Amino acid sequence: MKRLSYKFIRLLLAAALIPIVIFGAISIYSSRKVAYETVVQGNQNVARRAAGEIGIYLKNSVDTMKTLADNLSNVNLNPAQKERIIKNYVIDYGRLEEILLVDQSTGETISSRPENDFREILNSNEFKIPMGGKIYSSDVFISSSLAPMMKISVPVLHLNKVVGALIGNFNLIDMWKLVDSIRIEDTGFAFVVTDSGRLIAHGNDNRKADVIRGDNLSGLPLFKPVFSGDSRPVIYREKGRAKVLSVASEVVLPDGRKWAVAIEQSTAEAFRAVHILTIELVVLVLVFLVLMSLIGYLGGKSISDPLKELVSATGKVAGGDLNTRVRIQSRDELSDLGDSFNKMAGKLGELTEEIRRKERIATFGRLAAGLVHDLRHPIQNIQNSSNLIVQKPDDPQIRKVFKNTLEREFNNINEFLDRLRNLTKPSPIQMIKIEVNGFISEILRIYRNDSSLDKIEWIEELDPKIPGIMADRFVLERGCKNILTNAIEAVNGQGKIKITTRADGHFVYLEICDNGPGIPPEKLKNIFEDFTTTKRRGLGLGLATTRKLVEEIGGQIEIDSQPGQGTKVMFVFPA
């Protein structure tokens, strides 16, 4: 019955599985994609904004320098005044720490610092490039007060010609503050690298030392793409660190060089929502599948249980219990089947009862007929003998015949009654050890002495070495007498009846053979059945009874017979 449930389960699973799996896969895929893109875009926006702000910040610094350069190119100012202006700028504009003006048209070198030796500067890019009319910005360097510094120099113009350079030292600490202020959840930080790979700012406290050391990050996977204009996110893992999602945005410096502002967040955190979603969907799909299986199992059971009941009931009926009924209340075809079954079982019961009744009547009828038939003979014989004795009461021969006849016929009647009684109520068996040879000889003696059986040749071949058997005396006696009676009938009062006993170690055999006409094969088949007889008289209960009796005391009967060749009846008893 389980098989049905399993079939259902399989059916449902097959039907539901594919759509669920497809649904699940599509959901997972598309939600992951969306979540991923959202996170990436969010981080990219932050990077872009930060880059924008830094760009503005740098531009403002350059503009400050340009304005100052413009102010200083006023011809009406003398060096002392220019110095005053420069120094005031440094005092007032906190992020501008030093200013140097080199004006070749007037030969002035004016600085906010008291030091006087600027010869080195004249050979450096910070002077030469603005002299070429371009804006210069230096690499970021860390000052001794732990601040990021950058030199910016702009050309100083007079009458639209470049006459000098204005060089300023800017403290970019505000850039650091901006980078520090960027925090995405717990692991998202910003950092800034130059296009030569130098790390110049980092929002993660633990990495600030790297900035001071001036680590070069050009080896990182995010580096090349960002400076070649590829704004796609990069996911990578640095040795000893977690996997990160990295997005970056470019900052273009006033002199055309570039920085990149990168935002990095650990992928575990960035995609946590995606992971959770994935897990939820997978769990959902699994729950579905389990549910399906459960439903399938239960559905199958609701069909297989009633069927089981029917099968079991059918078996019981076949085994003879006609009172079996089933209770199926499913209000469907199965309950109809159940009702039909019950009806059928009921009818079967009735029919069987009918048959039994008829059989009983038939049996009874035959029984009665047999009774009458069989009793009539002995009674008739006794009647005849009685008539005779009345006629010649003094004839001793007739008296002897009369006595014998009476004995014999009363014996027959008794035996017959015994047989009848045993048919209906068998007497208890008493198993004792019996010596077969002596036993059968004793029985044969009576037959031998019976003058009416004078014409029969009694042959005894009794093996003296046979062991005793366990049996009931009376049952054995009846059985032997039944068979002997049949044999006598078969030879019709004259012929040979041979009695043999032998043993083969396991069994003891008692054979009674006659040379009568034999039994035709078709009758031999049913010889042990009730109501079968070849005799002209008798109920035909003899052999059936005999067999039952013999079997009851642990023995067996076998009959061997061929028409024209006599009959052999063999009793087999365990030794």
Which residues contact another protein by CB under 8 A?
80, 84, 87-88, 90-91, 94, 112-115, 142-147, 171, 173, 176, 180, 205, 208-209, 212-213
Q: Which is nearer to another protein, 84 or 327 (CB)?
A: 84
Q: Exposed/middle/buried for 159, CB within 10 Å: 0-12, 13-18, 19+? A: exposed
Q: What are the Cα distances from residue 182, in Å, to 43, 262, 404?
A: 11, 11, 139
Least distance between another protein and beta carbon 144 (Å)? 5
Least distance between another protein and beta carbon 149 (Å)? 11
Least distance between another protein and beta carbon 182 (Å)? 14
Instruction: At 172, give phi and psi (nearest 5°).
Output: -95, 25
**What does the block give as tokens for 267?**
């992928």
**What does the block give as tokens for 492?**
């019709």
Least distance between another protein and beta carbon 205 (Å)? 6
Q: Which is nearer to another protein, 207 or 448 (CB)?
A: 207
Can you tell me which residue has the tokens 């059968």? 440
Length of the chain: 575
Q: Which is nearer to another protein, 80 or 318 (CB)?
A: 80
Q: Which is nearer to another protein, 143 or 383 (CB)?
A: 143
Q: Which is nearer to another protein, 4 or 147 (CB)?
A: 147
Q: Which is nearer to another protein, 120 or 504 (CB)?
A: 120
Q: Which is nearer to another protein, 25 or 91 (CB)?
A: 91
Contacts 24+ apart (CB under 8 A), 104-112: 104/163, 104/164, 105/158, 105/163, 105/164, 106/79, 106/163, 108/79, 108/82, 110/79, 110/82, 110/83, 110/86, 111/83, 111/86, 112/86, 112/87
Least distance between another protein and beta carbon 48 (Å)? 25
Q: How far apart are CA 347 and CA 335, in angstroms?
A: 18
Least distance between another protein and beta carbon 201 (Å)? 12
Q: Exposed/middle/buried for 487, CB within 10 Å: 0-12, 13-18, 19+? A: buried
| b/e burial code for range 303-320 (CB count within 10 A of at least 16 → b) | bbbbeebbeebeebbeee
Least distance between another protein and beta carbon 297 (Å)? 56
